Amino acid sequence: MNAGAGKKHAGAAAPATAGPVLDIAGLSVSVRGEDGERDVVSNLSLTLARGETLCIAGESGSGKSMTALAIMQLLPQPAARISSGKIRLRTGDLGDTDLATLDERQMRRIRGDRIAMIFQEPMTSLNPVLSIGRQLTESIEAHTSLSQAQARQRAIEALKAVRISEAESRLKQFPHELSGGMRQRVMIAMALALEPDVLIADEPTTALDVTVQGEVLELLRDLQRQHGTSVILITHDMGVVAEMADRVIIMRHGRMVEEGTTSDIFARPQADYTRELLAAVPRIGTGAGRQKSGDAETAAPANVAVVNDLHVRFDLRGGIFGRVNRRVHAVEGISFSIAPNETLALVGESGCGKSTTAKALAGLVPYSGDIVIGGRNLSGLGRDERKAVRRDVQMIFQDPFASLDPRMRVGDLVAEPLVIHGIASKDERSQRVAALFERVGLSADQMELYPHEFSGGQRQRVCIARALALRPKLIIADESVSALDVSVQARVLDLLKELQREFGVAYLFISHDMAVVENISDRVAVMYLGQIVEMGTRDQVFSNPRHPYTRRLIEAVPVPDPAQRRSRFARLDQEIPSATRRIGEAPLKLALRDVGNGHLVAADA
């Protein structure tokens, strides 16, 4: 960085800075709730060496994010507070400071300057009404005596450092004009512009698509090497841990369960919990046992659902008379079929049209093309008939918190589909619901409870019970396990498989997570920009991916094994283009060709 009026770091190797840059001893964080004060972090001690990447891994509620917020003194006020412990920061010019004793004004000088933080959601972590330039320069101006022009110059350098092209013109843009990956890079630029001693990254890639995740991780690693920044990386993803960490701390219920070097933790985990956690992580290449024997193919049962040349387009209006002048081509002529007892996975990154396809199947968006369910084409049917056919298609959504009405008892929620379709008497209904509860691993006496009294995994079980209530032939699972912790995720996936064996229900399993898809699917369709670019059996797609996009998707998944750490991640040549086009500029339809045994690949490969 050129600005001489800037600051510090001359003493980065001075003797005063020997030893760990951050030294946490006996940290406890407590949260005041209705039933008194409760520790969310108890007696945590850790050190962070200079230039080191320390991963804090754990599932939700493990206290990993609370630890990060405690270091920054950003704990949610007034409920949470540091109840005991020391957080000592050692830097060249400030010497040894206990952050836990600093007041707000003193802490402000540390934040952003000595310790910077990036967050999980790049979409909401940038202020929507301020330009990128303003948000970058304001922190530079707050911590240095640089002039406006110098701050701007440094902001441009920071953007270049995170490999953002046309950095100068980006300063004028607003967050909503950038993609998710770009926004997270802006966040990183913002955090590193002042060359902090410590960078805390709280789930920095969790909200990103897998190919973008690789880029961001690689960027973080490169920048850390260049500047010697110490990084605390908080994540639930053991793949990310293996890829990034020098040392790992595993946390559970606010306590450290295990600490060690990355290779030790993965190769020789000591604590039971660590072993469980690692075992639950879905890995590509472990789903092989599931492949169906050929008899399902030979029997050739009637398909549960057949989709033929499905299009979903959304019109955008503009001009003085509000005419349609642009169109979002969300789904562009896709065709597939699902047999009973089969799981077809639809994979792709955000905006590829996979969820829109699901909505069309469930009758939630208007479409053109044919959807045939149980042998009946929906487009030829009247309202009532369509409703009857739709009974055979049920959905499970991503967010079990948002998809259950908080004011209804879960028993009533599960019974609701039966009520809507006028099935069974009241007593029969409650019997059926009780049976469903037992079947999905809940107990019948939990029917009287409300959704907030359940954990995330239990709520998703309630959603599954609700989807099963009508004995559907097809269940659409739209990112249904994405919001769950890995150990819970594994159990929900097992439940889905069991239910399939028992009821013969077919799944359309929509996911961005290649490892989960590999674990559960029989067949896989890869979507890109509203079209299917590759479709085949799970083995065909995973062992012999033919389309370059499929390959990139598979390669980009971080492998939970430090021995397989990559120096370079698979990278997209450019950002995925927009699906919005002017009227009359329909996208080119990809022709699929069979490369053997029904393995279809788009011809552009």
Partner 1 sequence: MIAYLGRRLIQSLLILLGVSLITFALLYLLPADPVRQIAGRSATPQTVENIRQQLGLDQPFVIQYWRYLTRLISGDLGRSYIQRSEVTELIVSRLPASLLLMVGAILCELLIGLSMGLIAAVKRGTATDQTLMVASFVGVSAPQFVVGLLLLYVFAVRLSWFPIGGYGTWRHLVLPSLTMGILGAGWYARMMRSSMIDVLRQDYVRTARAKGLARRAILFRHALPNAILPVIAMIGIDIGIFMGGIVVVESVFGWPGIGQLAWQAIQRVDIPIIMGVTLVSAFAIVLGNLLADIIAPFIDPRIKLR
Specify whether the CB–CB gap between 93 and 12 falls below 8 A.
no
Using CB under 8 A as the binding rule, whether residue 318 contacts partner 1 is answered as yes
Cβ 220 to partner 1, closest distance in Å?
Answer: 17
Binding mask 420-449 for partner 1 (x = CB under 8 A): ------------------------------
Q: Are 561 and 286 in contact (CB under 8 A)?
A: no
Angle at 174 between CA 136 and CA 180, to 5 degrees: 90
Q: Does 282 bind partner 1 (CB under 8 A)?
A: no
Among 52, 113, 218, 392, indicate the residue that binds partner 1 (CB under 8 A).
113
CB closer to partner 1 out of 60 and 127: 127
Q: In sequence order, what are the beta bridge partners of 316?
A: 326
**Residues 388, 393, 398, 404, Cα dihedral to 10°:** 30
Interacting residue with partner 1 among 21, 126, 436, 517 (CB under 8 A): 126
Q: Quick one: 128 or 584, whose CB is closer to partner 1?
A: 128
User: Of 45 and 124, which CB lies nearer to partner 1 in the complex structure?
Assistant: 124
CB 166 within 8 A of CB 204: no
Residue (of 382, 378, 349, 391) closest to 533 by Cα position: 349
Residue from the set 32, 38, 176, 589 that interacts with partner 1 by CB under 8 A = 176
Q: How far is the CB of 434 from partner 1 (least distance, A)?
A: 39
Give, as ranges, the residues between 45 and 84 that touch partner 1 (CB under 8 A). 72, 74
Q: Which of 15, 36, 322, 422 binds partner 1 (CB under 8 A)?
A: 322
Q: Are 466 and 435 in contact (CB under 8 A)?
A: no
Query: Which residue in the block uniquely carries the two structure tokens 């009287």?
Result: 448
SS (H, E, C) 111-180: ECCCEEEECCCHHHHCCCCCCHHHHHHHHHHHHCCCCHHHHHHHHHHHHHHCCCCCHHHHCCCCHHHCCH
Nearer to partner 1, 176 or 593 (CB): 176
Interaction of residue 413 with partner 1, rule CB under 8 A: no
Residue 263: what are its φ and ψ, rounded to 5°?
Answer: -65, -35
Which residues, in sequence order, are bridge partners of residue 251? 256
Does residue 190 interact with partner 1 by CB under 8 A? yes
**Torsion-angle region of 158 (φ positive above 0: left; ψ -120 to 50: alpha; else: beta):** alpha
CB of 170 to partner 1, least distance (A): 14
Give, as ranges, the residues between 127 and 166 that touch partner 1 (CB under 8 A).
127-131, 138-139, 142-143
**How far is the CA of 50 from the CAs of 17, 19, 224, in angstroms?**
9, 8, 11
Please state, in angstroms and rounded to a whole number, the distance separating the CA atoms of residues 361 and 355: 10
Q: Per CB under 8 A, does 508 bind partner 1?
A: no
Residue whose CB is less far from partner 1, 36 or 128 = 128
Binding test (CB under 8 A) with partner 1, winner from 174, 314, 450, 503: 174
Closer to partner 1 by Cβ: residue 571 or 581: 581
Does position 580 interact with partner 1 (CB under 8 A)? The reply is no
- Residue holding tokens 């209904």? 429
Is residue 119 within the footprint of partner 1 (CB under 8 A)?
Answer: yes
Task: Closer to partner 1 by CB, 143 or 547: give it.
Answer: 143
Tell me 78's DSSP state: T
Q: Which is nearer to partner 1, 141 or 222 (CB)?
A: 141
Q: Total residues at the site for partner 1 (CB under 8 A)?
A: 34
Smallest distance, Å, CB 191 to partner 1?
A: 8
Task: Name the one range near partner 1 by CB under 8 A: 108-116, 264-272, 352-360, 558-566.
Answer: 108-116
Based on the shown chain and the rule CB under 8 A, indicate whether residue 124 belongs to the binding site for partner 1: yes
Instruction: Determine, following the binding rule CB under 8 A, whether residue 117 of this chain makes contact with partner 1.
Output: yes
The CA distance from 377 to 375, in Å, is 7
Nearer to partner 1 among residue 94 and residue 495 (C-beta): 94
Q: Which residue of 48, 110, 505, 516 would you call a contact of partner 1, by CB under 8 A?
A: 110
Cα R_g (the chain), whole angstroms? 26
The whole-angstrom separation of Cα 116 and Cα 197 is: 8
In the bound state with partner 1, the residue whose beta carbon lies nearer, of 141 and 370, is 141
Token digits of residue 512: 């961005």
Q: Which residues pair with 235 in a beta bridge?
A: 57
Window contacting partner 1 (CB under 8 A); options: 126-134, 234-242, 284-292, 407-415: 126-134
Distances (CA, A) of 244 to 59, 212, 366, 566: 18, 15, 44, 10
Q: Amino acid identity, residue 105?
A: R
At closest approach, how far in Å is the CB of 169 from partner 1?
Answer: 15
Q: Does 125 bind partner 1 (CB under 8 A)?
A: yes
C-alpha span between 202 and 62 (Å, rounded):
13
Nearer to partner 1, 73 or 211 (CB): 73
Interface stretch with partner 1, choices 314-322, 388-396, 442-450, 461-469 (CB under 8 A): 314-322
Pick 16 or 74: Cβ nearer partner 1: 74
Return the number of the residue (114 or 329) whose C-beta is nearest partner 1.
Answer: 114
Is residue 509 within 8 Å of 521, Cβ to Cβ? yes
Q: Count Cα neighbours of 39 within 13 Å in the Cβ-side half-sphere.
A: 14
Looking at beta carbons only, is 144 or 550 nearer to partner 1? 144
Cα gap 119→133, rounded to integer Å: 19
User: How do beta strands 115-118 and 198-202 pair?
Assistant: parallel
Q: Which residues bind partner 1 (CB under 8 A)?
A: 72, 74, 108-113, 116-117, 119, 121, 124-131, 138-139, 142-143, 174, 176, 187, 190, 317-322
